[in-house]
Amino acid sequence: MTSPAVIPIHGTARKPVPGAHRRGATHSAEPIEITVRVRRRQALPPSAIQATVLPRDRKYLTRETLASSHGADPADIATVEAFARAHGLVVTGSDVARRSVMLAGSAAAFNRAFAITLEDWTHPSGNYRSHTAPLSMPTEMSSIVEGVFGLDNRVFAKPHFRRLRATVPAHASALAAAFDGYSGAQVGGYYNYPSADGGNGQTIGIIELGGGYRQADLTTYFGQFGLPVPSVTSVSVDGGSNKPTTFESADAEVLLDIEVAGAVAPKAKMVVYFAPDGTERSFLDAITTAIHDSANDPSIISISWGGPESTASTAFQTSFDQALQSAAALGITVTIASGDDGAADEGPNEWDHLAHVDFPASSPHALACGGTRLTIANGAIADEAVWNENNADTTDDTFGASGGGFSAFFPTPDYQASIALVASTKMRGVPDVSGDADPATGYDVRADGQQEPVGGTSAVAPLWAGLIALVNQSLGAKAGFVNALLYANPTALRDITTGNNKVGTPTVGFSAGPGWDACTGLGSPDGQKVLQALGGSAAVAGGAQSMQGRRDTVRS
């Protein structure tokens, strides 16, 4: 019997991580699990995003309609499953809505199935498995499969938080010792967030690629601020789970996300989607699981993880952006941190002296969230500038700065077309909005029995997620994809005109100025005006702060 013709699939080869060395072939018996993403049955119409329609007038797709009309064709799923079984692979699951088929097998079986040679690589930042040749598939599958994730298991995403006491310059140690950090409720009060009823009836999904939380920390933390303890539920993705360890781990990220969003919208439900690591497969499976979670039905998703766009595969960026399009069609707002390494978006040991943006914040269907530094006087904002600790009196460039710049992958979206600076590049500009991110003016976070100030653009994504929960409740409707409406109403944002996100030697980066810039986007929120820009009426201001939101008890 003649074997079916196979062809190499363009864009599926993976380049080694710069500085990595080949260790040898992956052991033939090594167990591997992957996710195969297949094409949509029918493309989403542009009208599904409803970018310029006020939320109260939008008619979102139901999850059932999205799955049946714009999910995978069951025949395509069956084709992939038949291919897998013919090559000795096990089908561990499939999902029409997520357009995903999950497969398991040995390295040898995957080598035969895709005509590749899996190899192990070593790198100072960690070892990984990959392939340098493109995947090959039967001709009839080449038009069905949009991506294969998991054969390459390099870590792509990292959490975007900064701990004050771990990074503060020695000359500022007295300041670090004196500053305890704000609660999300306090910051929401400074930003004039609407009161609503604490986001009651809303569900905020939070993506985590590691770490965990302890209920005792949440009970103690919110009790200190006189706030209700929010309902928090964990969902496992690809075997990931809530595994708290120490403050020095990703636990600080997990608790930062829950505590900031929960302090802003304490009556909203929190659903934390735990994937096992920062690989492309885990990240993609986490976002598709959250978007299509009919049981918990999140109306907002907050993501504080990402990596340099230049290190993400083409298939991963395309599939993730398509997932965010599905979220918009369902009325889900997705807030994403823009990164903590300034315009370089890479640490000092990895920097290639070029500017990069962070993905998935660079997706045109994300609300990309940059960072600022707040100055508070007499209970109000006295000044606000771009967050950039690299401007401090120090030669250590491990501190942090607001991520921002221009995508090398996504073209300028319609909502940015009128911004001359973005239009001139013909590429998507990042970020869209911003908020307090400097750990020196950051958030009081409790994790693993320890409490200290934490910042980073990681804090800004849940800060905006909490605002959208309040907006949704006030509107009685899901805000969904908000970018176009915010760009059409720039006065809803506090324009940040001072500072820059320049880093490195020689420096790369951008300066703030009037209007949109590649440091803080349109600016930080005036919550009341954001509500009005999205079709709501002015409500009682300072609601987040009115529920106390200040720590009046002694830390335990």
CA distance 475 to 358: 31
CA distance 491 to 479: 18
Element (H, E) at 190: helix 184-190
402, 376, 461, 458 alpha-carbon torsion, rounded to 10°: 60
Strand partners, 158: 306
Q: Name the H helices within 377-526.
A: 420-425, 457-475, 483-488
Residue 23's identity, in one-letter code, is R
Q: How far is CA 230 from CA 203, 219, 271, in A?
A: 11, 9, 10
Active-site residue set = 253, 257, 458
| Cα-trace Rg, the chain | 23
Q: Which of 336, 314, 313, 312 has its CA nearest to residue 324? A: 336
CA distance 347 to 19: 14
Q: Which of 385, 382, 381 has its CA nearest to residue 372? A: 385
* DSSP secondary structure letters along 484-508: HHHHH-GGGEE---S-B--BTTTTB
CA distance 549 to 169: 29
Element (H, E) at 333: strand 333-337
CA distance 440 to 454: 8
Is the separation of the CB atoms in 121 and 129 below 8 Å?
yes
Structure tokens given for 69: 């009309």
Between CA 186 and CA 196, with CA 190 as vertex, the angle to 5 degrees is 75
* DSSP secondary structure letters along 18-41: TT-EEEEEPPTT-EEEEEEEE--S
Q: Name the H helices within 225-303.
A: 251-264, 280-291
The two beta strands, 433-436 and 367-377, are parallel
CA distance 264 to 526: 14
Owner of token pair 């040991």: 349
Strand partners, 453: 444
Is the separation of the CB atoms in 222 and 262 below 8 Å?
yes
CA distance 302 to 404: 18
Between CA 51 and CA 57, with CA 54 as vertex, the angle to 5 degrees is 110
